[in-house]
Amino acid sequence: MQKLIVITGVSRGLGLAMTEQFIAAGHTVLGCARSTRAVKEQCARFGSPHDFAVVDVAEQQQVQAWAERLLANYGPPDLLINNAGVINALAPLWQVPAQEFDRVIEVNIKGVMNVIRSFVPAMIAKRSGIIVNFSSGWGRSTSPQVGPYCASKWAIEGLTRSLAQELPSGMAAVPLNPGIIHTQMLEICFGTEAAAYTSLKDWGVKAVPFLLKLKPKDNGMPLTVTA
């Protein structure tokens, strides 16, 4: 059965890997990213019925306008994936500049909340749909020099589990640890050692079927992508 899937942060990394695999599996993807160039490339590459837009999830008005257009043209999504995220440059917490800390919080927490606020009411009205908020291993553990990122992902764990308690039956909200994948973000943390971890293509091949199998019974469960 074809699903309608909304994904944030589709220009690269996990977002792009999911987009490619969902479309290959016959599903419709509605995605956003901040990069105008990347969005133009995806529109040209994938075409209709898929839809890609330039949106900064940290900006509520942009997210609301995007959601209103998609909901009017496509209806509520079956699967809403909050993937967009940023990480701080490695540094002890007291050395992280205020502007950098604010950006991590704005994208990783407020961005997720903006998307939830804009899409979830329509999903609730339909009483169906799965909401997946990407967490991290650092949303359930900690490491030095990534304090702002850890804080943001621990927040996502709590926010999502609380949301799960508010949803009607037939829906689910899941905080998802995608695992350790070789992305540009991982290279910031691990340097050249990042290449030893799962490739984006291999991750996408196992993550997309995992996501498609999520059901209302998974509501509130802190899950991790597995084969």
Catalytic residues: 149
Tokens of 207: 């993550």
CA 111 to CA 116: how far, in whole Å? 9
Pairing of strands 51-54, 223-224: unpaired
CA 43 to CA 135: how far, in whole Å? 28
* 93-96-188 Cα angle (round to 5): 95
Q: How far is CA 201 from CA 15, 186, 193, 205, in A?
A: 11, 15, 18, 6
Q: Residues 136, 225: contact at Cβ < 8 Å?
A: no
Residues 6+ apart with CB under 8 A from 63: 55, 57, 111, 114, 115, 117, 118
Q: Residues 5, 22: contact at Cβ < 8 Å?
A: yes
Q: Which SS3 state, helix, strand or coil, does residue 172 take?
A: strand
CA 107 to CA 204: how far, in whole Å? 23
Q: Which SS3 state, helix, strand or coil, does residue 143 take?
A: coil
